[in-house]
Amino acid sequence: MMRVLRCCLLCVLASMAFGTARAAEAPFALTAEYMTDPVGIDVPRPRLAWKLGFHERGAVQRAWQVQVAAAPDAFGSAPLWDSGRVDTADSVHVPYGGPLLAPGQRVYWRVRAWNGADAVSPWSVPAYFEAGLVRPAEWRARWITADPVAAKSAPGPAMLLRRQFRLDRPVVRARLYITSLGVYEAQVNGRQVTDQVLRPGWTSYDKRLHYQTYDVTGHLKQGDNAIGAMLGDGWYRGGIGFNGRDHYGTRRALLAELRVTHADGTATRIVTDDRWRASTGAVLSSDLLQGETYDARLEQPGWAAPGFGDQAWRTVAVLDHPKDALAGQAAPGVRRIMEVRPQRILRTPQGDTVFDFGQNMAGWVRLAVRGPAGTTIRLRHAEVLDKDGNFYTANLRTAAQTHRYTLKGGPGETWEPRFTFQGFRYVAVDGFPGRPGLEALTAIVLHSDLGVPNRWESSHPLLNRLVRNTEWGQRGNFLEVPTDCPQRNERLGWTGDVQVFARTATYNFGSAAFLAKWMDDLAADQKADGSIPFVIPDIVSRKKASIDGAAGWSDAVTVVPWVIYQAYGDRAILARHYGSMKAWVDHVARRAPDGVWNTGFQFGDWLAYQAPAHEARDYPGATTGKDLVATAYFARSADLLARSAAVLGKDSDARHYAALAARVRLAFNREFVTASGRVGENTQTAYALALRFDLLPAEQRAAAARRLAGAVAARKDHLSTGFLGTPALLFALGDHGQIETAWRLLTRETYPSWLYPVKQGATTIWERWDGIRPDGGFQDAAMNSFNHYAYGAVVEWMYAVAAGIDTDPAAPGYRRSIVRPRPGGGLTWVDAAVETPYGRLAARWDLRGGTMRLAVAVPPNTRSTVVLPGAVLEELSLDGEVPPGARQTGNDVTLRIGAGHYLFTYPWRPATPGAAPDGAGDRAAVAAALPK
């Protein structure tokens, strides 16, 4: 059935290429700063983007026109800005050219485009963007709190804040600008103002505190109204990481400003001040790590609605806290993304009643229950069961991940937490009245709203599950910041993890805005000497000032902006963080004046596989010297800085840092490479980094790749790499003549390998190769997360090489793409698609009966270089004939194609082992065929 389906998909894709020409449709998917209809952005000239509704092969945009108006029906009569026809192909990152917006001003915009034949499209459906308050002086609100002055806080009840007010005129427009110290949930007249949770999110609060803007026009009425907010501890003063509470302060506070415009043109402002009232309610405590305690008997129904009696509530205090760190929300918020139903209810040998949701995730559960008032239910969360089938929480360390809900009694109660989240697959239930059924719990998946995932499927079910596990790992850890894990007492933005995973993140989901927001936090927390803390936002060196940055971790400052630039064509990200990138490289240069970085603390190749003693004969030591790893990353960051300087037109810096990178490469070879080509400790990581970062002379690369393949063979086709070596491993092999070794590594199912956890039933990526050992025992509980995405970075190779979809470095953001699949591993088909800034780029190859079929879909306004593996030019067919412009490059055929849908068929002629297309000579031939 699957084979028939694949054939049908290929046939459909091919038929699209030959179908009747369709008229150009209007541009669609309009965005401003990566967001659809953003409200409250603090960007004076937001960059606009759209996708084209052109369908013909080779479709390009010859010109565009943007109109901006104050209302969606005012484009023709009173436009604020009309660009006129602009003769460029740009459809991504196009700067808004109209007048600067006033605080709170909303404008509508539309676009139309001309194709290559100079035919104009219809106008798009209007979109909008709206300015925030922009400047601290625009705020009239004052910080308010009901927390006492204290040197140290303790877990306590959520704070309820409210104010009632009267509007004596009809309302035509209302905006709520709001943020908090802590996390808030806001209501106007008893209605939630947003579906986002855990607002205002987590930033480097001392330097950047996001506020949110909500359109609450429909919430208000003429007459009596009320506004209310509930505050929890959140990241501000609650437990984060392993250093306790109160990382930013001890007093929660609210800052809110409601701006109302009336039908007669007058305005009313309701702001936080000493007229607000405060109380507590049913949330007795809430903590990100420990969970939430809720007593439904203490609810105050209607507390945020008009007419509620708050006479017994106390007055608030005005808090002297600055507003100069306020910034409009710049990334998608955390939302309830999906619901997961439990698959079964277990009774463990130790007597626990456990719900199994079948998927490790981050979020919380919704409880549905009926029972006597005063009954308390306890919900505990865990990722795994032990080998005896018992509920396992030792790896959570001091994170209790426990909720307690006390019933108020009645016909039925439904409850969800508010100010916490858990990492879990299993939930143990105690105290439930009666015997719970599957309907008693529903898992709610929470994460920053990244949109729908891209697609990677193949004929190998375990590889498909590996990709899904990586997607779930990203879901669980892209929650406000890119964390290491969502369950134990950590959940920190470790820079090393996101550095290795960033490119995979862009393959899995649309991650530009999320990563860019985090980079702003990184720049804010960078030290004066250029050093980058290990975690961002920085809560570690706030209590341990001696931390000085480390290779592979702090190098996120150069790697992540470059990834965003390559994946999304975002030159502005390089410009915004160039100073941070430069400061970091200069910092390392001072620490390594001779090019070899051998000073200070280093993580090295973190968690590289080291075999137990009884396996030592088969798996000799896998440790790579920390100074080798550090020097390799020094060269890498210097090179990326030089490339970034060139992109930005900083020619002098480009030359300087290119020369620095060259000097570090020489130092690397002098210190770590022998005359016979042995690199460092002869480990997989040593060769992988040396090859992936182009540290070796050209004449030594093939020999190094053979040594790397030998190191893999010595471990019976198993890997021995850690966090830094693993992402480079398959690329180092495949790019230098060892593609079959790469495929054997990827498809290995026994321990240690990528697929071993999959075979063990993993539904996310493990922190350690041996998180659960073959005997069923666990690794060290002190550090053994089962949702830790770093090793999932292999998915970059699966998209870029196995499926063949990649960017062309000369035209980033997929303006020009490369489609070059590298079949292997016994797979008979791979089907992948990536949503690029221009539209969906897809490639599907199917190899059956000695015939290769490669279907490619290229989005409008882009081009692609297609490399057909194992093809002979004369035997290649596109539309029944040899495609024009194709050329033989070693064992492949290379050609350039424009937008459209294509189906290539040819007899498959695989390369002989060690021959092209895997050698350096073939890589050079392909590079020569790329568009300049």
Orientation angle between helical segments 495-508 and 726-734, nearest 10 degrees: 50
Judge whether residue 77 has pLDDT over 70.
Answer: yes
Q: Give per-residue pLDDT as tens, 108-133.
A: 999 999 999 999 999 999 999 999 99
Residue 457 contacts residue 390 (beta carbons within 8 Å) = no
Average pLDDT across the chain, whole number: 93
Residue 47 contacts residue 32 (beta carbons within 8 Å) = yes
Judge whether residue 863 has pLDDT over 70.
Answer: yes
Of 160-169, 858-867, 877-886, which gets the smallest average pLDDT?
A: 877-886
Structure tokens at 142: 């004052």
814 dihedral zone (left: phi>0; alpha: psi -120 to 50; beta): left
pLDDT at 20: 41
In this structure, the chain runs to a length of 932
Please, which residues have CB within 8 angstroms of residue 376's CB and are 6 or more apart in sequence? 404, 405, 406, 407, 431
Q: Which architecture, in CATH terms, is 455-801? A: Alpha/alpha barrel (1.50)
Average pLDDT over residues 346-363: 98
Structure tokens at 789: 């995405």
Q: Give per-residue pLDDT as tens, 634-687.
A: 999 999 999 999 999 999 999 999 999 999 999 999 999 999 899 999 999 999
User: DSSP string of 513-580?
Assistant: HHHHHHHHHHHHH--TTS---SBSS--STTT-TT----TTTTTHHHHHHHHHHHHH--HHHHHHHHHH
| CATH 2.60.420.10 for domain 811-929 | yes
Judge whether residue 545 has pLDDT over 80.
Answer: no
Catalytic member of 490, 740, 796, 835: 490
Average pLDDT over residues 888-913: 91
pLDDT range class, residue 913, cuts 50, 70, 90: very low
Residue 917 contacts residue 890 (beta carbons within 8 Å) = yes
pLDDT range class, residue 136, cuts 50, 70, 90: confident
Judge whether residue 191 has pLDDT over 90.
Answer: yes
For residue 171, the SS3 value is: strand
pLDDT range class, residue 912, cuts 50, 70, 90: low
> Following CA atoms 879, 881, 887, 888 in sequence, which dihedral angle do they give, to the nearest 10 degrees?
110
- Angle (nearest 5°) at CA 572 between 501 and 926: 60
User: DSSP string of 712-753?
Assistant: HHHTTS-----TTTHHHHHHHHHTTT-HHHHHHHHH--SSSS
| CATH number, domain 335-448 | 2.60.120.260
- Torsional sign, CA 285, 346, 477, 547: positive
pLDDT at 17: 37
| CATH 2.60.40.10 for domain 2-131 | yes
Q: Give per-residue pLDDT as tens, 506-542.
A: 999 999 999 999 999 999 999 999 999 999 999 988 7
pLDDT range class, residue 335, cuts 50, 70, 90: very high
Q: Is the pTM of this model over 0.85?
A: yes
CA–CA gap between residue 385 and residue 379 (Å, rounded) = 16
Judge whether residue 923 has pLDDT over 60.
Answer: no
Q: Which residues pair with 112 in a beta bridge?
A: 65
- Residue 325's Cβ-count burial label (10 Å; 0-12, 13-18, 19+) is middle
Residue 656 contacts residue 650 (beta carbons within 8 Å) = no
CA–CA gap between residue 157 and residue 229 (Å, rounded) = 14
Average pLDDT over residues 553-561: 98
pLDDT at 924: 42
Catalytic member of 33, 257, 767, 796: 767
416 assigned to active site: no
pLDDT at 620: 59
Q: Which architecture, in CATH terms, is 136-329? A: Sandwich (2.60)
What does residue 886 show for φ and ψ, rounded to 5 degrees? -75, 150
- Torsional sign, CA 654, 657, 661, 663: positive
Q: Give per-residue pLDDT as tens, 586-615.
A: 999 999 999 999 999 999 999 998 877 666
Same fold, 136-329 and 335-448: yes
pLDDT at 176: 98
Q: Give per-residue pLDDT as tens, 393-448.
A: 999 999 999 999 999 998 999 999 999 999 999 999 999 999 999 999 999 999 99
CA–CA gap between residue 12 and residue 719 (Å, rounded) = 40
Residue 580 contacts residue 522 (beta carbons within 8 Å) = yes
Structure tokens at 358: 């079948």
pLDDT at 879: 87
pLDDT at 386: 97
Judge whether residue 22 has pLDDT over 70.
Answer: no
pLDDT at 614: 66
User: With pLDDT > 70 as the criterion, what percentage of the chain qualifies?
Assistant: 94
490 assigned to active site: yes
Judge whether residue 218 has pLDDT over 80.
Answer: yes
Domain map (residue ranges) of the chain: 2-131, 136-329, 335-448, 455-801, 811-929
pLDDT at 541: 82
CA–CA gap between residue 680 and residue 625 (Å, rounded) = 7
Residue 230 contacts residue 184 (beta carbons within 8 Å) = yes
Structure tokens at 849: 């009966």
- Angle (nearest 5°) at CA 881 between 878 and 883: 60
Residue 755 contacts residue 748 (beta carbons within 8 Å) = yes
pLDDT at 619: 58
CA–CA gap between residue 456 and residue 504 (Å, rounded) = 12
Instruction: Say how far residue 89 (Cα) sits from the centre of its chain.
Output: 29
C-alpha distances out from residue 372 to 233, 410, 433, Å: 30, 7, 8
